[in-house]
Amino acid sequence: MKKNILILSGGISKERLISLDTGNQVANELKQNGYKIKISEPDENLSRNIKNFKPDIVFNALHGQFGEDGYIQSILEIFKIPYTHSGVIASSIAMDKEISKKIFIKNKINTPKFFIYSYELKEIDLIKKIKIKLKFPVVVKPLNEGSSVNVFICNKKNLFKNINSLKNYKKIMIEEFIGGREIQAAIMGDRKLGVIELKPKRKFYDYEAKYNSNAKTEHIIPVDLPNHRLDQVMKMALKAHKIIGCKGITRSDFKYYRGKFYLLEINTQPGMTKLSLVPEIAAYKGISFFQLIKWILKDASKKK
């Protein structure tokens, strides 16, 4: 018997539109295969929707703050309903770039150097600190956004203009800029699913490059790297997945520069849109979109 699946999508993060797209595409695929589906916003109606619909599993299609940072996971734990992707703690850790990077460093996973900037530091002192610790250009980004929202590559001239645009965030991360190739690695449970390379036409793989079809980012699969390098990056992705305590599907973002991989971050809820990378990697490995979703639901139902 096909199960009742409640799909959570939308939300209030800056990734709302991507979440709606993910939710709709997952819903359409499940409906076509005989599942009973209800789509719900994570709002004041959520409790009523859960009680009335009585879902067997919640498919969490939310992205960004309140969706993949442990917040909605905490609420779903109260209802004692299985939900997809990672749990409360792993979601929270992965979303916090400072904590996750400290865990990567502790576990000898190569990641760009960084420090946390709060607005008390004077401009002259910040520039001095960057020159000593990182060197220009640098990457400036919020600690807890996804999809490269509000991420900037900065030189001395545009540094403070970009920092000032992030004043709604209490703290921001200033990170070493790593050039080179954009490599993404997907993990499916304990399985090393595969790798894809991205060649954005823009400066880097930012929000526009990810979700605007006009940005024309080139997706390359198979990736032109020696087998031992591909194995190396997959091992790094699986190690990150395990040490953070992730479940289900994750996608890790790497830069490959001068023979070294640098892990930028791990995504506990990768997108499921027509431009999304995990479905593309899965398809290359012979796993259809429906088979991928079905596996995610089955994995969710196993969790205690």
Given this model, what pLDDT does residue 124 score?
84
**What sign results for the dihedral spanned by CA atoms 198, 201, 205, 206?**
negative
Return d(Cα 28, Cα 285) in angstroms, integer: 22
Which stretches of the chain drop beneath a pLDDT of 50?
204-207, 209-211
pLDDT reported for residue 303: 66
The CATH classification number of 4-85 equals 3.40.50.20
Going by C-alpha positions, the residue among 274, 280, 262 that lies closest to residue 183 is 262
Q: Do 250 and 271 contact (CB within 8 A), yes or no?
A: no
Q: Where are the domains of the chain?
A: 4-85, 114-176, 179-288
Q: What is the pLDDT of residues 277-302, one digit of tens each?
A: 999 999 999 999 999 999 999 999 88
How would you write 213-253 as a 3-class SS string? Answer: HHHCCEEECCCCCCHHHHHHHHHHHHHHHHHHCCCCEEEEE
As annotated, the active-site residues are 15, 147, 211, 251, 253, 265, 267, 271
CATH class of 114-176: alpha beta
Domain covering 179-288 assigned CATH 3.30.470.20 in the classification: yes
Tell me the per-residue pLDDT of 72-120, one tens digit each, with 9 for 90 and over. Answer: 999 999 999 999 999 999 999 999 999 999 999 999 999 999 999 877 7
Cβ 146 vs Cβ 211: under 8 Å: no
- Apex 66 CA angle, 267 and 289, nearest 5: 45
Q: DSSP assignment, residue 152?
A: E
pTM listed for this prediction: 0.88
> Residue ranges of the alpha helices (H) in 63-202?
71-79, 88-95, 97-106, 123-133, 159-164
